[in-house]
Each structure stands twice: as C-alpha cells, then as structure tokens.
Amino acid sequence: MEDEGNLASRIHFDQAITGWYQVRVTGSFRKPDGQDWDYTGLTIENWFQWSEEAGDTSGFNGGLRLAYGFSDGADPDEIEARLTLTDKFADVWEWRANVIAEIEVGKASDGGTALATRAQLTRALGVNVLGSDNWRFGLEAFSEYGTTRDMPGFEDQAHQIGPVLKVEWESGVYLQTAVRSGITRGADDRMIKLFIGRAF
C-alpha cells in the first residue's frame, strides 16, 4: 500500500524442479484508491541457483532469475533479469541484495532498460514469541533509478528505506512486513508491505 491509498497484491507459487532450478508463477492485482480489485498480469519466472551457502555459513547463496510478464490490457509485457545474493555472517546477521534490469515489450513500450536494486540487512532477535524462535529485524532499501533511455537525476529517482520484520514457523508459514519511507522527490512518501507464505 502506498501513501495515496492504492493497493497492490501478488500471489506466488514456487516449485523446485531440481537442486538448482526453480519455477515461479505470479498473479498480480491492483486496487486504485476507491475502486475495485483488478487483475493486471501473469509472470512466469525461471530461477537458477549457481552458488549455495554451506551449513557452516561459509560461501553465499547466488542466483539468476529470468522472468516474462504477460500484462493484461494495453500495457506492454515485461522481461526481467535479476541477480540475487544472500549471505549469513557472524552467527546472527544476514544480508540480501538484488540487482534488477527490466525491458518492456510491445507497441506501448517506452524503450530503454529500467534499472533497480534491493538491499536488506537483518539480525536474529533470539526470542521465542507466538510459537516461533526464528525472528529477524533489520533495515531494507529499495531503489528505482529509471531507464537507460532517459535516466533522471538522483532526486527524481525513487529511493526508499525503512525497517523490516521477518518471522518463520516450523510449520513452514512465514511472514515479512516492512514500512519504507521515500528519501527522494521521485519516491512515494510511504509504502507498507506484507508478505505471507508457506513452504511445503
């Protein structure tokens, strides 16, 4: 949810095919302020893992995600490539980073490649609350730089930062929530997210 009251929702289904390849199907929906929910598109994503962190936390997790998004209506389709990195260190800390490049496909395409990054740093809290001892708290930053065709200056780019809270249960259910604030003129003033999932 953004500060203007617009809502967006995504439903993911992930399936591991091998130890290094996973496919994800995502349905996207949006609800402009004061309007009904509307389906916006379907994305099929291929996730290739090329590095895996060892049980003693040596090494890191690295992957490449290639996705094609089928848009509903007149909006252009999207092709996305995403480099993902994750690493645990010093027993209780974990960092995550994503580097994203996206191009639009079709007559309505604006041209150029859209560039973005995601970064997250969390620490295990070491508490047992609500039946889980796997709680993490930290900070995350989302940055959208614009397109290579017409990249704006820093203040007109969309940069947000804010706290994030994550929890997992032994049943496989997990939750992640964050509140991000815009730090540049081109970003929304406030963004709230809530992820709920279950591994099985």
Instruction: State the Cα–Cα distance between residues 200 and 183, nearest whole angstrom.
Output: 38
**Segments forming the whole domain that contains residue 31:** 7-198
Q: Are the beta carbons of 43 and 28 closer than 8 angstroms? A: yes
Q: How far is C-alpha 65 from the chain's CA centre?
A: 12
pLDDT, tens only, 135-185: 999 999 999 999 999 899 999 999 999 999 999 999 999 999 999 999 999
Instruction: State the Cα–Cα distance between residues 141 and 100, nearest whole angstrom.
Output: 14
Q: How confident is the model at residue 3 (pLDDT cuts 50, 70, 90)?
A: low
- Residue 172 is given by DSSP the state S
pLDDT at 191 over 90: yes
> Is there a domain that residue 150 lies in?
yes
> Is there a domain that residue 175 lies in?
yes
Q: Which two tokens stand for residue 136?
A: 């993490």
> Is there a domain that residue 1 lies in?
no
Number of structural domains (the chain) is 1
For residue 73, the domain's CATH number is 2.40.160.40
> Is there a domain that residue 130 lies in?
yes
H helix and E strand count, the chain: 0, 11
Q: What pTM did the predictor assign?
A: 0.88
